[in-house]
Each structure stands twice: as structure tokens, then as C-alpha cells.
A and B are shown apart, each in its own frame.
Chain A
């Protein structure tokens, strides 16, 4: 099923992912063929060298859907906010 008006989602980037991409957030129209977090990463990498650089080690970059940690095979479904960041180093 494809929708006439792609759904808008907010993307957030943190730490070195943010620095490599050159911005902390943006709003995108989610392409119809993007179902999972991994699909989104593959699509983002086609948008420019800065995304290629940020996701060069795609297995290292972590993701959250609506502020909850997810694995790359997670379905985006109705999530409004998708975040990408390096492994956390607090504490």
C-alpha cells in the first residue's frame, strides 16, 4: 500500500552522528518503501556523503523510536521521532 502524502517524521542526531551529518534534527517525508530502521538508514545513506560517513559503521550507530531503544530491524510503524546516536557513554 502506498500513500499519496508521505508521512512526516522528525529525525534527531546526537554526538558524533550529529557532527558528521552537520545538524541535530530535521523533518523528512518518510518514503513509502521505508518500513524498518535499517531501511531508513539505507535511504539516508543515499542522501549525501555526510550520511555515508555517519552511517559508515552502521552496526555501531544505535537508534530509538519515540524515545525507546530499538534494534535496526524494528518497524518504524507510527513512530513520530526517530533518533540515531553512538553507543551511550554516561555515568
Chain B
């Protein structure tokens, strides 16, 4: 298990290598990478700045990760989230889940992303090529996506 909040970029292949190296019990690894797009609903984006709540971010990501381990038989997992100023094409977030079989790894990766998007204290501000900045609004479908993991 691991959580990292950092300004630096990450390399997906080396993170997966580090997580799975020497392990023979892992049969499935799922990775999800979130990247900065160059437009938001047709509005061009020149850069994106990510603010967060130092301390709470790490605690919340660890809680979400522990929830995933309680729900699925995961052998390992990793969450990396970048902060600061990013450009289109840059990596924002990496989620890696490893399990004996694919289903747990797929489901846990979806769960981690859905919960991260609704609970981890990050805020995105977008800047247009003209230099106008605006805070990104919550997407309703992100809230809806997280509810699918609630017990019925």
C-alpha cells in the first residue's frame, strides 16, 4: 500500500515494476493514469493548477486505499497524485491495483478513482490561453459514480 502527493511527474512502468518486483503471488495488475486535457467542454486550457490540503490529502487517500483493501483481496496498491501547475498532456494521477485475479484489480481501481474524485481534498483551477482562470466545478456524474459502491 502506498500514497504519494508530489509535484514531480511519475513513470508508470517503473512504478509498476517497483510494486510487483519479486512478487509471484500477483496475477493481475491494473493501472489508471489521469492526464490534463487541452479543453474543458470546448473551452481551451493552457494550464491547470492543483491545490490540495496538505496532511488531510494523504490521510484521506490512505483511508480510501484501506477501504479498497477491506473490500477486495488486493496484494498491493499505489496512489500518486500530482499538485502544482500542470500543462495539457501532463500526468495528474496514477492508481495501481494488484491482485491474484483480474476482477478484484479492475473493480478496486474503479473504486479508488471514484472515491478519490469525491473525497480527496484537491481543487483544480484552469487557465485559458487568454490568461483567464476559473475553478473547476464538481461534475455530477462523479458523485453518481461514487454511489455505485455503496452497500444497498
Contacts and interface: CB of A to CB of B under 8 A. Distances in A.
Interface of A: 12, 14-16, 64, 67-69, 83, 85-91
Given A16-B135, A86-B135, A91 B53 contact: no
B31 interface: no
A86 B53 contact: no
Contact of B81 (A15, A83, A90): A90
B145 to A, nearest CB: 10
A83 B56 CA distance: 10
B138 A67 contact: no
Contacts, number: 71
25 contacts: A14-B53, A15-B123, A15-B125, A64-B121, A67-B53, A68-B59, A69-B60, A83-B53, A85-B53, A85-B121, A86-B123, A86-B138, A87-B137, A88-B117, A88-B123, A89-B124, A89-B135, A89-B136, A90-B50, A90-B117, A90-B120, A91-B34, A91-B93, A91-B116, A91-B142
Q: Is the interface of B mostly helix, strand, loop or mixed?
A: mixed
Given A86-B123, A89-B122, A91-B81, 4 more contacts: A64-B56, A67-B56, A89-B124, A90-B117
A88 B125 contact: no
Interface residues of B, number: 28
